Amino acid sequence: MDRLYYTNHSPVDVHFSKNSRDFVVEEVPLYEFSGVGEHLVLKVRKKDMTTWEMVQKFSEVLGCKVRDIGYAGLKDKDGLTSQFISVYKKYEQKLENLDDIKIKILQKYYHSNKLKIGHLKGNNFYLRLKKVNPVNAQKLEEVLKIIQKEGMANYFGYQRFGRDKNNYEIGKDILFGKKREKDRKKRNFFISAYQSHIFNLWLSKRVEMSKLFNSFDLKELDDLFDYPKSILHNIIKQKTFFKILPGDIGHHYPYGKAFECDDLSVESKRFKNKEITITGFLPGSKSTRAVDLAGIIEKDFIQESEAVIDKMQGSRRFAWIFPEILNYKYKKEEAWFEFSFFLPKGSYATVLLEEILHKKVQDF
């Protein structure tokens, strides 16, 4: 499924390789570690291996079960990545037996709790693009400024859908009884890919609608949409690219509670100030549904899953996020463009990269 970009520039011709020199990730913890407790928290740097492979290695070295090792999130295999893991303090001495050139322990902390999935603020990223000419460097700077101001669509990245891009189809077949998967983790992963696919389809539609609201006047939009003029007026006067619709489920950003958007004039100002964001539906019985106009549009994308909705828990996901562009620099002599940025948890650096390049990362 081709995700719709929201920026309007032509594709940028550069070279990118996901390796340990040009793709670096550093996890940002959710909180400071207490310094006391029965758990040992390790900041670990790994190279060219998955988080699961790293955890398995620690399990073998320490002589503990994989489930005894806590981690906050999964990091890419390709590249140089650092993240935090937790083990029981009683295994600290055995860490001296770790001998793997792909793994290095950078720091140690004590803490009272085991790390769990989601216990992170997000990640800092560093990317280096090569074979960048001055014209494209200028284009990259301009796009990064737009994203710094407006934010970006929080699509699920290609990693969720597999090399053959069919993970969501397997998940759908499992849900509708056309395929069986005995491994619970694999089954849940395929089903999550199906939920992610529906979310991406919906978000691409909302980006398309926002493009239209930004491109046409009230009279032209009245011909395109069968909505009351008062609603169209309240939408097009919003001063952000992504438009909030009546009945959207908003959420305080980056933390807080969800709520229904009923006053667009108020919520659009908060959205512009990056105080709130809008969420999208991940199908499931426990997921809150949008109402009003937003609910009508959302319903078009979740009708298919209604028959199996009770087989999924569901949730809502940020549809729009606000990356922090930390730094960027063009090195003309080397034809390199280097930039760093922060993304909240659950977001994909490759999605940001594809937005600025208007190219799929898999195409490199």
- Single out the catalytic residue among 13, 22, 76, 292: 76
Question: Is the peptide bond prior to 344 cis by the omega test (within 30 degrees of 0)?
Answer: no
**Which among 97, 100, 87, 115 has a CA at the least distance from the CA of 48?**
100
3-state secondary structure of 24: strand
Beta strands in 91-209 (DSSP E): 103-111, 120-129, 152-153
User: Residue 129 and residue 115: Cα distance in Å, rounded?
Assistant: 34
3-state secondary structure of 22: coil
Per the CB < 8 A criterion, the answer to whether 61 and 105 are in contact is no
> Token pair for residue 167?
């993970």
| CB burial string 172-196: b at 16+ within 10 A, e below | bbbbeeeeebeeeeebebbbbbbbb
Q: Which of 121, 98, 110, 2 is nearest to 45 (CA)?
A: 98
Question: Is residue 243 within 8 Å of 209, Cβ to Cβ?
Answer: yes
The per-residue DSSP string of 25-84 comes to EEEEESS---S-SSEEEEEEEEESS-HHHHHHHHHHHHT--GGG-EES----SSSEEEEE
The yes-or-no answer on residue 76 being catalytic is yes
Q: Please state, in angstroms and rounded to a whole number, the distance separating the CA atoms of residues 344 and 337.
A: 23
Residues assigned a catalytic role: 76
